[in-house]
Chains A and B, each alone.
Chain A
Amino acid sequence: MDQDARNRVEKALRESKARYTEIRLEETLASRVLFRGKNLDAVTETIDRGGIVRVLAPEGGWGTATFNDWDNLARKVEEALACARAVPADKVLLAEVAPAKVEQGAKLREDFRKVPLAKKVDTLRAYNEIMLAEPEVKSTAAVYADMLQTVYYGNSNGAWIVEERPLIDLSLSAQAVRGEDVQSANEGFTIANEGFECALGQEDLARQAASLAHALLDAKPVQAGVYTVIADPRLAGVFVHEAFGHLSEADFAFENEDVQKMMRMGRKFGPAHLSIADSGVEQPGGNLPGTHRFDDEGTPMKRTQLVKEGVLVGRLHSRETAAKLKEDPTGSARAQDFRHPPLVRMRNTFIEPGKTKLEDMFSDVKNGLYACKSVGGQTCLGNFSFSSGYAHVIRNGKKAELVRDVILSGNIFETLSNVSAVGDDFSWYNKGRCGKGGQSMPVGMGSPHIRIENVVVGGKSS
């Protein structure tokens, strides 16, 4: 580990005149390969380096300075304090966290930093060619990206944490084109703490993406209406992230009493078979993208129960929101990189498995949808919307034809109370990023199959 970073941070912390000071220095090595159709659109390596200082003014709020050149650290501490003093903020308090001293390197089987670019290109090219071999697949977007972010964190409470955070993205999109009709399908994953080996042997993902895009050309748009929806784990994971997870981020509530009233602990949020948690310690040493030992304020990550048997029992905190609401910090203050201060973010959010067998979920559905995968979602907190990658009509308990353009929407409270069954299966679906406040974070999402009654599905009206 870089003793130079530690010396710089400790010296700057000693010299700081602020009430509280925290410093994060980062070095990131990243590579990225992108094919679009037959063309290799990008093949790059980047070297990113910089830092962020956050301070609290004696009687006030946050001052922050971000920079690239570590040599400027001492000046940036002063600049951050000048920023803090320049604004008439109320005194910000932070919840206590025992200062940790931990240095933790990544253990990768095949260190992707040592894999030649040519090998990354060839691996991705093979997947890309599988997709292009599918009839009517005219274009693709195939991405392989890896990065190793080394975070050096110290604060004036005495914490010193070094963490290496490796991350690999594989994203395989196929676009099938017939005249003016374009249909897309996407497979892939975002995976933490693994080496280049995880990107090998993924030919099936390429085949699945291509054949789904092709099949969607012949699928009809879903008939708009209100349906009983069985969501597969990949869609249900996005559902719980979008529909519920964002509401549990305390930065949305901590200065707003109306929201606190709506999100009061003990309030019934769904049926007794619904339990939801968010965890940064799930699968320790495993590969979930939201798992780290510490968040970006030096707080150890925890498993946070959000809903227990239908009742609201917890929420996600930074040190500031925890102090304000007099609850415990959860290790949820995460930052995309040194350009940003941390925000309250989800880590790996999931619905806990229930007791219903999948076939029993289907059996009494007369006219419904089996909605699978997700191609995005958004919440405006009261309401949410997400798109499933594809869906099958359910007719008299049986899975029937493929349909497309399935966009599900609703009110969070109503929809959660309409979760009529939770499956006894479970899987993680970790792909892409969650955006908030201009920062894009890797998050994990997991769920069993779930069934929801009375879901509004947009599309063609009859």
Chain B
Amino acid sequence: MSDLLERLASKTQESEVYERSADVIEVSFVNGLVKGALARESSGVAIRGIVDGRLGFASATDRTKGAQAKLVENLLASCKVGDVAGFSFPKKVAAPSGDLGSYDEATAKLGPQDLVRMGERAIAMIKEKHPGIALDVDVSRSVISAQLENSRGARFEDRGSSISIGIGFNRTRDEDVLLDGDGYSAVARSEAELDRAIARIIEKLDFARKDVKLEKTGMLPVYFSPGGASLVWGPIFQGVNGKAVQTGTSPIREKLGQRILDPRVRITDDGLAAHMLGSSPFDDEGVPRRKKALIEDGVLRSFVHDLKTATATKQEPTGNGDRPGVLGQPGPGFTNLFIKPGTKSEKELLRSIDYGLYVESVIGQGQGNTISGAFSNTVNLAYVVEKGEVVGRVKDISVAGNSYEVLKDRLGELGAELDTSSGSSRVPALLVSALSVVGK
């Protein structure tokens, strides 16, 4: 038992110590030129305790002696005014078996020069096809170690690596600024993944070469790239979050077991998927991670919970306790999200459109009253599709709808391919058979 936990044990009924440290290297490029490199070393501790049944929390990155005493004092003050916990910290259980492949030694050892080479390769390949384009690139690699120990005997240590590259492009023609990007994140560096990101950017710039006007508005078929589709999935993800269920704001809070979406929709949260960024044997509260269907054949099967929201809603914790950083409290969060692909390829989906819209990204996603399912956004990068072919970029139009309605009644198809650019999700393209499109 750590010294800190031992000190807490005498002052609390139950206690928990969570520590996290990170070692990060980043390099950045502005308009194709490398600007510098950054090394980030961080560590901190968060403690929770239950006193007289009340839950408290305190955290610090200051590990000096005086600060440690103050940390314990802060926790006791927090326990005094905190809410009734209603739960116990988890007991010791065996870790789910098998290596999750969350740590890649070669990636963990990448230095600034390696990251510079990745950025330079991306810039060179994109500029070869689009010489005039301005590219801002950020490449980073991280190693994150976490450990948790509580007074009920649970204890684990975990370590993960990650690599991420974000490539932003800026094409300015007189007053017309096109800003978008792509990239990938993963446990381990992958040349293939970088090549795919580069190819997507080149395709976006090819498609956006010419500006076209939208000839029709009103209800149109709209194809969302896997990234663009997050506009439509977003409200559903918000709705299955245990916090929104606990607070009574999720519109599907009372719909467990009911069909809420098209029967082809299956969404799974899997905290044990191999080689994925969201995987670890335990969540940030010491609850074992697991794989579970959230929506199966369109039927709502599960929410994602931490200890607190599970207790408040009288459901089981799902291993989704997630800390935003070492200083923040756990809350329900996704691990790795999987949306079941469809049967038709992305190309086939596009070919099926006689006249419609192809959305890569929108402006202001997540703005507005999204918990209700409503979205209404101007497109940032979108194309007109005519007789199955992309004919050019369209601007100054917006798409609007309600996710619950769209994904229940107007789901055209899901693409057969899964986007692998995010290390914590696998999502297909989405064709909506009819969506409100408004132009000037």
Q: What residues of chain A have their CB less than 8 Å away from a CB belonging to chain B?
A: 27, 36-37, 39-50, 61-69, 72, 76, 79-80, 83-84, 86-90, 92, 116-118, 121, 138-139, 141, 175, 177, 180-184, 221, 224-226, 251, 254-256, 258-259, 261-262, 339, 341, 375-387, 404-405, 407, 409-411, 413, 456, 458-461
Contact = CB atoms under 8 A, between A and B. Distances in A.
Given A36-B243, A48-B327, A84-B36, A67 B396 contact: no
A36 B78 contact: no
B30 A48 contact: no
A258 B173 contact: yes
Interface in B84-112: 111-112
A36 B41 CA distance: 34
Contacts of A407: 364, 367-368, 376-378, 398
Nearest to B379: A383
A375 B74 CA distance: 34
A116 B62 contact: no
A38 B421 CA distance: 40
Contacts of B82: 40, 43
Contact of B378 (A68, A261, A458): A458
Interface stretch (B174-182, B346-354, B424-432): B174-182
A461 B61 contact: no
Contacts of A46: 58-60, 327
A49 B62 contact: yes
A454 B38 CA distance: 46
B433 interface: no
Contact of B400 (A61, A69, A382, A460): A460
B280 interface: no
A68 B179 CA distance: 35
B58 A378 contact: no
B436 interface: yes
A459 B376 CA distance: 6
Contacts of B33: 89-90, 255
B113 A44 contact: no
A39 B55 CA distance: 12
Contacts of B2: none
B62 A27 contact: yes
B422 interface: no
Could you say which of A61, A90, A410 has the most chain B C-beta atoms within 10 Å of its C-beta? Answer: A61
A458 B362 CA distance: 13
Given A262-B172, A375-B368, A407-B376, A50 B57 contact: no
B57 A42 contact: yes
B248 A383 contact: no
Contact of B364 (A84, A225, A386): A386
Contact of A387 (B41, B362, B367): B367
Interface in B143-199: 170, 172-180
Given A63-B36, A175-B247, A409-B378, A42 B367 contact: no
Nearest to B115: A87
Given A46-B59, A175-B247, A409-B378, 19 more contacts: A36-B243, A37-B247, A44-B59, A45-B74, A48-B327, A68-B42, A87-B36, A117-B78, A138-B249, A180-B372, A181-B251, A182-B371, A256-B134, A259-B134, A376-B368, A378-B367, A385-B367, A386-B367, A409-B396
B372 A181 contact: yes
Given A44-B329, A385-B377, A410-B396, A379 B363 contact: yes
Contacts of A182: 249, 251, 369, 371-372
Interface string B248-259: 110100000000
Nearest to A409: B378
A69 B308 CA distance: 33
Given A39-B312, A182-B251, A405-B376, A48 B177 contact: no
A238 B44 CA distance: 35
A379 B365 CA distance: 11
A456 B38 CA distance: 42
B364 A42 contact: no
Nearest to B368: A387
Nearest to A86: B112
A276 to B, nearest CB: 18
Interface of B: 25, 27, 30-31, 33-44, 56-64, 67, 70-71, 74, 77-78, 80-83, 111-113, 116, 132, 134, 170, 172-180, 217-219, 243, 246-249, 251, 308, 312, 327, 329, 362-369, 371-372, 374, 376-378, 380, 395-396, 398, 400, 404, 436-438, 440
A-B pairs with the 7 shortest C-beta distances?
Answer: A62-B36, A382-B177, A49-B62, A385-B364, A258-B172, A458-B376, A255-B31
Contacts of B31: 255-256
B83 to A, nearest CB: 4
A383 B173 CA distance: 14
Chain A interface helix/strand/loop/mixed: strand
Given A88-B116, A117-B81, A411-B396, A224 B438 contact: yes
19 contacts: A39-B312, A42-B57, A47-B67, A62-B35, A66-B42, A67-B41, A83-B25, A84-B37, A86-B113, A89-B35, A177-B248, A262-B172, A380-B179, A382-B175, A385-B363, A385-B378, A460-B436, A461-B217, A461-B218
B28 to A, nearest CB: 8
A381 B395 CA distance: 13
Contacts of A387: 364, 367-368
A221 B380 CA distance: 23
A49 B327 contact: no
Contacts of B173: 258
Could you say which of B27, B36, B41, B59 has the most chain A C-beta atoms within 10 Å of its C-beta? Answer: B36
Contact of B363 (A76, A404, A409): A409
Given A61-B34, A89-B34, A339-B42, A461 B400 contact: yes
B3 to A, nearest CB: 18
A73 B67 CA distance: 19
B368 A405 contact: yes
A230 B127 CA distance: 44
Contacts of B363: 378-380, 383-385, 409
B72 to A, nearest CB: 11
B368 A39 contact: no
A39 B371 contact: no
Given A83-B39, A378-B364, A47 B175 contact: no
Nearest to B41: A67
Nearest to A62: B36
Contacts of A382: 175-179
B67 to A, nearest CB: 5
Nearest to B38: A64
A139 B39 contact: no
A411 B380 CA distance: 11
A382 B379 CA distance: 12
Contacts of A83: 25, 36-39, 112
B369 A183 contact: yes
Nearest to A67: B41
